[in-house]
Amino acid sequence: MAIKFRGVDFLEFDSLLTDEERLVRDTTRKFIEDNLIPIIEECNRAGRFPKELVKPMADLGLYGASLKGYGCAGMSNVEYGLVMQELERGDSGVRSFVSVHSSLAMYPIYAFGSDEQKQTWLPVMQKGEKIGCFGLTEPDFGSNPGGMRTRAKKSGKEYILNGEKMWITSGSIADVAIIWAKAEDEDNNIRGFLIETDRPGFRAEDIHGKWSLRASVTSSLSLQDVRIPESNLLPKTGGLKSPLMCLSQARYGIGWGAIGAAMACYDCALQYSLFRKQFRDQPIASHQLVQEKLTWMISEITKAQLLALQVGRLKDKDKARPQHISMSKRNNVWMALECARMARDILGANGIADEYPVFRHMANLESVKTYEGTHDIHTLIIGQSVTGIDAF
């Protein structure tokens, strides 16, 4: 049975959006429907990132969309969030690619870079001609990145970097890596460095055997005596706060993106339940237990939309705090994963087949729950904010 996405709006959510916001959302939705939906199951099966969409997404203005200047679209945070929702309705891996390129590679150059670095990198990254990645996590330091071992040593007018990064989205397809390292000459202060990935000593190897985010490239990075000019240091970085500021941008987008995945699962389950008949030739939607699941899903999606929108409106006024963004990321990813599991259940045996998008979303969301700060790390961030007590 072919199921076509119809959009999800229980509580006139659209009436809370401006015409411009709806236009951005609808344009991205159409792009995903026309270009990603027809190929995504094949990409997922093959473990292939749809690289052919990199340029068309640039033409649509999706890279660095909330940045101003350098050819970027200058969208509001709400518009950017709606873009993320639509991308992740297609696939979390494609949203990941855009999130990392925009929020974790372009944003640090924009926020912490010199004028020359911005002029060199941002216009070509906006056009999708150069791809970025973000190396914070290491094999022994995930939730606690402050413990990182990667080091940058000053040698004349150069830095020499050594270390290992792990689980890096787009690592092997990136032209530039934003690498976070402890600067030995600054008492191990954490700084950000721009590393062109063709420099001697830089190696990226893909991680295979993933059951999740199969349409996204995930790599490990090795830096062995990688020499860069001192002008590749991002001058305004200083301390763990700098990469965490980038994470705030990306986590904000995930708070919206997860809604897209949940909408895809809910809408698929609803349509399936009206079509599929069991017992007395009645659609399974007529059984109370199935209705209870659909009710849970639409209620939680609606609450998640309102949460994401309020955080977006605050962000547009520069009032969103990290704990607000943590609440949106934590709640909305959890909600989406629960929706995906319930939708899988409603589809019965068909729920495990890639004729439907549900299992793929469910498997993807397991990663989304872990990356950008695990569910439990965000629990502790919110806990710290309300109690004042650090429980990490």
- Comparing C-alpha atoms, which of 251, 270, 219, 239 is closest to residue 322? 251
H helix and E strand count, the chain: 12, 7
Of the ranges 107-115, 223-231, 347-355, 364-372, which one interacts with ligand FAD (CB under 6 A)?
364-372
Residues sharing a CB contact under 8 Å with residue 4, sequence separation 6 or more, in sequence order: none
How far apart CA 100 and CA 176 sit, in angstroms, is 12
Shortest gap between Cβ of 20 and ligand TGC (angstroms)?
26
Return the range that interacts with ligand TGC (CB under 6 A); candidates 179-187, 238-246, 295-303, 308-316.
238-246
The vertex-99 CA angle with 160 and 303, nearest 5°, equals 140
Residue 42 annotated to the active site: no
- 202-206/189-196 β-pairing: unpaired
Which of positions 98-117 make contact with ligand TGC (CB under 6 A)?
Answer: 99-100
From the list 181, 192, 176, 187, the residue with the least C-alpha distance to 152 is: 181
Least Cα distance to 271 among 44, 86, 1, 11 occurs for 1
Q: Could you say which of 142, 201, 238, 383 contacts ligand FAD (CB under 6 A)?
A: 142
136 binds ligand FAD (CB under 6 A): yes
x/- map, 203-232, ligand FAD, by CB under 6 A:
----------x----x--------------
Q: How far apart are CA 34 and CA 23, in angstroms?
A: 16
The rounded distance, in Å, linking the Cα atoms of 84 and 97 is 11
Cβ-based nearer residue to ligand TGC, 144 or 231: 144
> Segment near ligand FAD (CB under 6 A), from 232-240, 316-324, 345-353, 371-379?
371-379
Which are the contacts of 302, defined by CB distance < 8 A and separation ≥ 6? Answer: 10, 11, 13
**Minimal distance, residue 209 CB to ligand TGC, in Å:** 18
Nearer to ligand TGC, 137 or 197 (CB): 137
Segment interacting with ligand TGC (CB under 6 A) among 96-104, 185-193, 226-234, 262-270: 96-104
Considering the rule CB under 6 A, would residue 376 count as an interface residue with ligand FAD?
yes
372 lies in the site for ligand TGC, by CB under 6 A = yes
Rounded CA separation 40/59 (Å) = 20
Q: Is 114 in the site for ligand FAD (CB under 6 A)?
A: no
Residue 187 identity: D
- Within residues 295-334, the interface with ligand TGC by CB under 6 A covers 322
Q: Which does 168 bind (CB under 5 to 8 A by kind): ligand TGC, ligand FAD, none?
A: ligand FAD
Q: Does 132 bind ligand FAD (CB under 6 A)?
A: no
| Helix then strand then coil, % of the chain, to nearest 5 | 55, 15, 30
Q: Where are the alpha helices (DSSP H) in 276-374?
A: 288-316, 322-346, 358-370
Is 276 strand, coil or helix?
A: coil
By CB under 6 A, which span of 52-60, 61-69, 78-86, 130-138 interacts with ligand TGC?
Answer: 130-138
Q: With beta carbons less than 8 A apart as the criterion, state whether 148 and 163 touch.
A: yes
CB 304 within 8 A of CB 332: yes
Site residue total, ligand TGC (CB under 6 A): 26
Q: Where along the sequence are the contacts to ligand TGC (CB under 6 A)? A: 96, 99-100, 134, 136-137, 143-146, 169, 239-241, 244-245, 247-248, 250, 322, 371-373, 377, 381, 392
What is the set of active-site residues?
Answer: 372
Q: Where along the sequence are the contacts to ligand FAD (CB under 6 A)? A: 100, 134-137, 142-143, 167-169, 213, 218, 367, 370-371, 374, 376-377, 392
